Amino acid sequence: MSTTRYSKAIIATTHIVRNTVFTVESLEGAAKQIAESERKVVFLAEHDHTCPPLGMTVAGRVVDIEDGYHGLEVISALYDNPVCVDLPNGDSRFLQELPEYPHPLTSSDFGDSQLPEIQIDPNNFGGFEDASIFLEEIREIAPELEYETAVMERRSLIPDPEVVFRLGLSLSAIWFAARVSKAGAGAIEPRLKRFFDVIMETVLKTAKTAIPLLRPITYIVKVNGDPNVDFVAQSRDPNVVIRAFAGDFSEISKQVVALRNRFSAEMIQFLLDDKGQWKFNYLLTRDGKVIGSKMSYDRQAVLLREMEAKAKEKLENSPNKPH
């Protein structure tokens, strides 16, 4: 008998949002894709990619909601408690799996575009109009270079500032090679060097602009490869972030190879610690397992407590609060 736990949530509706509307047919198509796709979407707490997934989305259906509208309800299978495993270097980490669902995972984060891309959340820049102005300024940093800018929407209770830099297929391989070989500025391929300039300038601009002003900013550099690799730095100090992304990744490269070979990793994430060192955070395997550090699961526990507190506060302040 299965002991797997499940969670349900409405993730899209037929309501009009900023002059955009999903049709019932499009929601049905999404539900079909969820059911039939071999690769399953990770279920994250608060869209926070620095914490291990809580589970994976395994089914979807269109349901009736209020006032004649429809919604896409997704069903996520939840991981059980983690068990201890050993890494290639002898360190202990924690593993979670869903034996009923041995599927590769996706978070739609890396994509398969050749071009680099910078993503921001409009909520961190005062809304869509101000975010559009900010992205126009980012485009003006290197108008001669091909790269894209985009907005991402995170419906979060705790919308901390976040900026995502996707290197894309064209720059990922040479970025990793340049960082691992400790190449000097003059030896780096010109397009990569110019996009690195864009990243640094974006970090500086974001530190001055992003809201809430008292919350740390999360910067994520996504490198396509086998496996894909995330580098995550969280700081309000742009100099800390710039030094980290410009640093030496030779030891990280060795870890990536060892983890890929040991666990068939498809995605590995490293997080910048308080000492400015890159530390293993968690990885995703080809058969849907999650292996994370104690630090990653401690962060997840803190986030879940914060979410619970925010949800209670929201309920307390709601005009529809039950009496």
**pLDDT, tens digit, for every residue of 36-76?**
999 999 998 887 888 999 999 999 999 999 888 999 999 99
- Give me the pLDDT at residue 1, please: 47
CB 56 within 8 A of CB 76: yes
- Give me the pLDDT at residue 246, please: 87
CB 229 within 8 A of CB 269: yes
Q: Please check the confidence at residue 322 and state whether its pLDDT lies above 80.
A: no
Q: How far apart are CA 58 and CA 9, in angstroms?
A: 12
CB 266 within 8 A of CB 228: yes
Higher pLDDT, 104 or 178: 104
59-63, 88-92, 113-117, 270-274: which has the minimum mean pLDDT?
Answer: 88-92
Average pLDDT over residues 294-305: 89
Which amino acid is it at 192?
A: L
Paired tokens of 135: 């992205």
Higher pLDDT, 181 or 219: 219
Which amino acid is it at 262?
A: R
- Give me the pLDDT at residue 182, please: 58
Q: Please check the confidence at residue 185 and state whether its pLDDT lies above 60.
A: no
The stretches of the chain forming alpha helices (DSSP H) are 24-36, 128-139, 168-180, 190-209, 238-245, 250-263, 294-316
Q: What is the mean pLDDT of the chain?
A: 87
Q: Please check the confidence at residue 186 and state whether its pLDDT lies above 60.
A: no
Q: How far apart are CA 35 and CA 30, in angstroms?
A: 9
Which amino acid is it at 267?
A: M
* Residues paired with 95 in a beta bridge: 83, 291
Average pLDDT over residues 172-188: 65
**Confidence at 89, pLDDT banded by 50, 70, 90:** confident
- Give me the pLDDT at residue 323, please: 54
17-31, 143-157, 242-256, 304-318: which has the minimum mean pLDDT?
Answer: 304-318
Domain ranges, ordered by start, for the chain: 117-301
Q: How far apart are CA 57 and CA 75, in angstroms?
A: 6
Q: Please check the confidence at residue 251 and state whether its pLDDT lies above 90.
A: no
- Give me the pLDDT at residue 95, please: 95
